[in-house]
Each structure stands twice: as structure tokens, then as C-alpha cells.
Amino acid sequence: MSNSKQLKCTRDEVAKHNKKGDLWIIIDSKVYDLTRFADMHPGGLAALTDDEVAGQDATEQFFALHRFEILLKPQYQRLQIGTIEGEEPSLHVPSAGDISKVPYAEPTWLTEGYYSPYFTENHRALQKAMRKFTDEYLTPDAQAREEDGKRPDQKVFDKMAELEIHAMRMGPGKHLQGRTLFGGIVKPEEFDYFHELVITQEMVRMGARGYGDGMLGGKVIGLPPVLNFGSEELKARVVPDVLAAKKFICLAISEAHAGSDVMGLQTTAVKSEDGKEWIINGSKKWITNGVFADYFTVGCKTEDGFTVVLVERGEGVETRPIKTSYSPTAGTAFITFDNVRVPVGNTLGEEGGGIFVMLSNFNHERWVMCCSSARAQRAIVEECLKWTAQRKAFGKPLNSLATIRAKLAAMIQRAESTQNWLENITYQMCNMSYKQQASKLAGQIAFLKSYSTSCAQETARDAVQIFGGRGITKSGMGRLIEHYHRTVPFDALLGGAEDVLSDLGVRQVLRTMPHDAKL
């Protein structure tokens, strides 16, 4: 509060303003004049004229019903007219870049007094910068776009391009060479999977799942086949614009007919008579960012099996939005290809070698999802720890109930185990070649992905029980819980359904079982 005309008054003075037409209250030693606002108060006039509120210290009542962010909105900040003489506000006012002091709200490596074998000062510097960026740029746009369902603001994409965040989200590699990462915080050759984990986990804190995918989820899965399997000419034409967010790309594999069953896909690519072009026909469904994509990394049935081709938006390509249970911000599309002609030079990898192209990125894609899931769960733990401390039932805080504490215990255990397993796998990734990762980590990552999303769903269910009706209400105290509970099933499906992944993990085990090991 910066108003220089702020009053200094005593609690007795505030107590005199205790009725409709002359109504003050105290929240955390700050005095608010609600006289003119009272009739507009969304919670009604009666709540404010209550004997225990009007003219009184209403801190506890306020925080039982409102999120802190309400007090930070300019229209409500204006209601503050002064402070209580001789008192200092004691509540922590959230600000951009903050590290939470709530236990388990941060992974141990970010918690004071704890240690980590994995994170260096350089990772910490990137984390600090990325958190501030998320709080200042991403979260406000994310919350506004979740409301209006529009695409993320191009200005945000541009700012991210300036800092090379789009490039960093593709992980370590040659594509980072010559780029200034986050104003020079990390050198391209130093950038490793822990840096990428930091970027992903910090972005997730914005608590907007549809926007999260709208924030170029399509690029994270659609560009790697171009980077790793495209011709030099194709890469030179496509990659710089995509990493600068001037053009957008998506991965178009799943169809109404087939999802995990890639060989069941029905979109066809047939060579033209002169052999110079593919002619593509078919449709794709649930394609993240497809609505606004310029490029489509498309899985096609070809004479030799399955082939991946980069299609550019043009004649014969149509996209229309699918209404999913998260926001339209993600740009989820149904796509039709009607005799779309594409130069054969746009083939990604070998003709008939599409499975290899797809499989080669699955590990990384699933690992990214584990990073998101682990961090999103932790945000829910923080929400629940705060709520159960400030909400009273039967005259006591919710956390005085053993049944509530049991739920909190389970949530914390799930968040911690997911993060710790993730950090271990990330360390393996940093030390293994791409080939070693493919053979040694496919099972580990499949297990972790399946484990983290099933943990996430249990945590979502527990959180709704803890928040009650607020856990199913889109605004107010439980808004993040409602959002999480509604959108968490996405993570359990994308990149492979839980059962499919668990089975994949066990099949990897069976392949490597030593023949000479007997009971």
C-alpha cells in the first residue's frame, strides 16, 4: 500500500466504524474502509456487518474465505486507508520470485537447510530467474487466457524467444549452440537435463494446464523429429522460426481410430506419379496446438509401413477446435488432410521407419511430463497445507483432524517420492548417451510416468475431499484444486496411458532378466 495519506489509528477508533454506511475492518493490522464496497461485496453485506466483523479484526474470518491475491488486486488495495498504530503487518505478502516457506512446497534442493547432490549454483541461478519470469509474465497471462480461452499472448511468446526459453525446452543439444540462454545465465554447452527440469517445473507453477499445453506443448513433442531426422534444408527452413515462436508446430499422430496402437493408423501418404511428392489423406484427433500450428509432424501409413512427414499448412489442410475438459488455450484440434501434397524432402527419417522416429522421442517426452506432474502435485500439497491450517471446522483448524492429516501425509509422500525418483533418472540421463538412455531408461521412465500420474490423481481426489465444495468451484479458495482435479487425467493419457506404460516397464524388465539367475 503506497498511499501517503494513510491513517495511523487505534483498534478502539476502528471499532467506532461498525455499521452499514460507516464500516471499517482490520486485516493483518491494516485498516480497510468497506463503507462504499459493502453493497458490492460478492459475499454479501451481512457477512461484513456481522458483530464479529464490523469494526473488528477480521483477519481470521477473511482468510477462511478469501485467497491472499484478492487483497493484492488494485481495486481492493484501494480500500486500505491505514494501519494500526504501533503494529506491523505480520503476514508474508506474496511477490514475484518468492520461494515458499511452507514445508514441502518446494523440492528439497530449494528448501533452506537441505542439500542436493544434483543441483549446482548454475541451476539455482536459472531457477531464480525462471521463477521471477513465470510469476511476472506467464502466470498473469495464463490466468487471463484460462478465463477467455484465447491463445497465449504473442508478446509472451516473443519474450520467451528473446530469453531462448523455447530452445531450452527442447533440452540439451546442438540447437542451443550460439544462443544466449536467459541473458547468458547458462552457457549452451553447460545446459543439461537438470536445467531443462528447472524450466519445466518452474513453468508448471502457473497452475493452468490448458495454457501449459498452449505454451507450445506441441513444439516440445513435434519439433524433435524435425531436429533429429529432418534434412539440413528442412531444418534450416523450419527450426529457427519455431524456436523464435514466429511459426508453430504440432505432433499429429493419434486418430479417432487409433492412439497407442500406432500401426492401426489410417492416414495415408502415397507417392505422386513422378515420385516427388507425398499425397496425404486422412484425419488426426486430439492434436495439441493443432488449431494454430503452421507445421504438422504427421504419422502416415505408407507402402513400407509407417512414415513421418512434415506437412505445412496449406491447401487441403483443415483444423478445427475440439472442446476438451481443459481450456481452448491449448488449441486442441481435429485435423483433416484432403489430398495434401508435400515434397518428399519433408520426410522425417527413413520411409517406413516412422516407428523409430516416434520411439526415439518418447523417453524425453514422458520425462518432461514427469517433471510437470511432480511439480504440479507439490503445488497442491502447498494449497492443502495452507487451507487446512487457516480453515476452521468444529472450532479447530482442519489439520487438527487425524483423518485430514492422513491425507496430507499420503500427498507429501507421493510428491516426494515422485520428485526424488525423477531427480535420479535425470542424473542418469545427464550421464548416458542417447543410445544408453534408450536402452536403459525406457522402462524406468515409463514406470515413473505411470507412477507419477497415478499419484497425481490420488492427490487430486484427496485435495477435493479436503477442500469440500470449494474443490469443485472454479473461483475462490479452491480454484487451483478444481482446476487440477479437472485436468489431471490429461497427464495420465498423454504420452501413453498408465497401464500401457507400466506394462512397457515390465516388458523391459523381462528382456533384461539374466538367464542364470535362479531362486
Binding stretches for ligand HEM (CB under 6 A): 25, 32, 34, 41-43, 47-48, 53, 58, 61-62, 65-66, 70, 76, 79, 475-476
C-alpha atoms less than 13 angstroms from C-alpha of 318 in its C-beta half-sphere? 8
Residues with Cβ < 8 Å from 53, sequence gap 6 or more? Answer: 25, 47, 61
| Distance in Å, CB of 63 to ligand HEM, minimum | 10
Asked if 281 and 337 touch (Cβ cutoff 8 Å), the reply is: yes
Residues with Cβ < 8 Å from 457, sequence gap 6 or more? Answer: 488, 489, 492
| Distance in Å, CB of 34 to ligand HEM, minimum | 6
The 30-33 sheet, strands edge to edge: 7-9, 80-84, 30-33, 22-27, 18-19
Q: Rank residues 260 and 473 by Cβ distance to ligand HEM and give the closer one.
A: 473
- Residue 89 buriedness (CB in 10 A; 0-12 / 13-18 / 19+): middle
DSSP track, 107-137: -GGGSTT---SS--HHHHHHHHHHHHHIIII
Residues in the chain: 519
| Distance in Å, CB of 150 to ligand HEM, minimum | 22
Q: Rank residues 56 and 399 by Cβ distance to ligand HEM and give the closer one.
A: 56
Q: Rank residues 281 and 473 by Cβ distance to ligand HEM and give the closer one.
A: 473
| Distance in Å, CB of 479 to ligand HEM, minimum | 7
Assigned C-alpha cell, 426: 535425470
Element (H, E) at 277: strand 277-287
Asked if 307 and 293 touch (Cβ cutoff 8 Å), the reply is: no
The Cα–Cα gap between 427 and 194 comes to: 8
Q: Rank residues 76 and 118 by Cβ distance to ligand HEM and give the closer one.
A: 76
Q: At what angle do helices 354-390 and 193-204 cross, to 10 degrees?
A: 50
Strands 7-9 and 80-84: parallel
| Distance in Å, CB of 35 to ligand HEM, minimum | 12
DSSP track, 450-492: HHHHHHHHHHHHHHHHHHGGGGG-SSSTTHHHHHHHHHHHHHH
Phi and psi (nearest 5°) for 405?
-65, -35
Q: Rank residues 103 and 469 by Cβ distance to ligand HEM and give the closer one.
A: 469
Nearest residue relative to ligand HEM (C-beta): 43
Assigned C-alpha cell, 7: 491513517
The Cα–Cα gap between 251 and 484 comes to: 24
Asked if 456 and 378 touch (Cβ cutoff 8 Å), the reply is: no
| Distance in Å, CB of 17 to ligand HEM, minimum | 13
Asked if 415 and 484 touch (Cβ cutoff 8 Å), the reply is: no
Q: Residue 230 forms beta bridges with which residues?
A: none
Q: Rank residues 32 and 278 by Cβ distance to ligand HEM and give the closer one.
A: 32
Q: Rank residues 54 and 165 by Cβ distance to ligand HEM and give the closer one.
A: 54
Q: Rank residues 42 and 74 by Cβ distance to ligand HEM and give the closer one.
A: 42
| Distance in Å, CB of 44 to ligand HEM, minimum | 7
Assigned C-alpha cell, 372: 510437470
Phi and psi (nearest 5°) for 62?
-60, -50
